[in-house]
Amino acid sequence: MTTLLHIDASPRPGRAGTDEHGSHTRRLTDHFVTQWRRRRPGDTVVRRDIGARPPALTTVEWIQAAFTAPERHQPWMREVLAESDTLVQEVLDADVLVLGVPMYNFSYPAAFKAWIDNIVRVGRTVDFDPSNPEDSFTPLLADRPRHAVILSSRGDHGMNPGGPLAHMNHLEASVRTALGFIGIERFHEIAIEHQEEGGERLDASIADALSRVESLVDELQQSREPVPACA
């Protein structure tokens, strides 16, 4: 069985194409999960809407608790880290992370940054060994293959690798850096562009993104099909 972690970071509550002022990234993540369940209805999907309910920002109390050895945790420290512990466990349990992340001012929304800050945890998702200064960090999620599917939307266009505005896109690269740091190394990226322009170009970009989502679902599911035992 495969476990999907479905994250939506857009503050828009609805889906584009269905709801007025709906979110394009929510439309993509919903399409991905719907297509996945159509073929594998028994798989687990864990949904977290950080656009509607952003994770708490890191505080001095959070930092103190996170960098205190678990055996020395006081009750207030466990309380401060409770939400982070839940978010970390969801990532640990996931095989495929389905991340709906719109581009805001060349990167991702603050809610998604808060989620990243809560799941990159020394002792939980990455280890630190000060005695080895040349290679002091060890990712803890490299124990098995995990995929991160980054489904984004952009107001402008030409921000894919090699595009004329690629240098202004700090979203996907930042996600890859943070998740790669903890051991997630398989990334897939699909984005809708022309959102500000609208019209035919936006419609074409949406259609292309939805088609690519379907192809990606097929690709990932085929790669996870069990191998029949030899007779």
Q: Which residues are annotated as a binding site for FMN?
A: 10, 103-106
Q: What is the DSSP string of the chain?
A: --EEEEEE--S--SBTTTSTT-BHHHHHHHHHHHHHHHH-TTSEEEEEETTTSPPPPP-HHHHHHHTS-GGG--HHHHHHTHHHHHHHHHHHH-SEEEEE---BTTB--HHHHHHHHHH--BTTTEEE-TT-TTS-EEESSTTS--EEEEEEE-SSS--STTSTTGGG--SHHHHHHHHHHTT--EEEEEEE--TTT-HHHHHHHHHHHHHHHHHHHHHHHHHTSPPPPP-
Look up residue 194 and give its two tokens: 């022309």
Q: Which residues, in sequence order, are bridge partners of residue 4?
A: 45, 96
As a whole number of angstroms, the distance between CA 170 and CA 166 comes to 8
Would you state the structure tokens that stand for residue 140, as one six-digit string? 């803890």
Which residue positions form the known binding site?
Answer: 10, 103-106
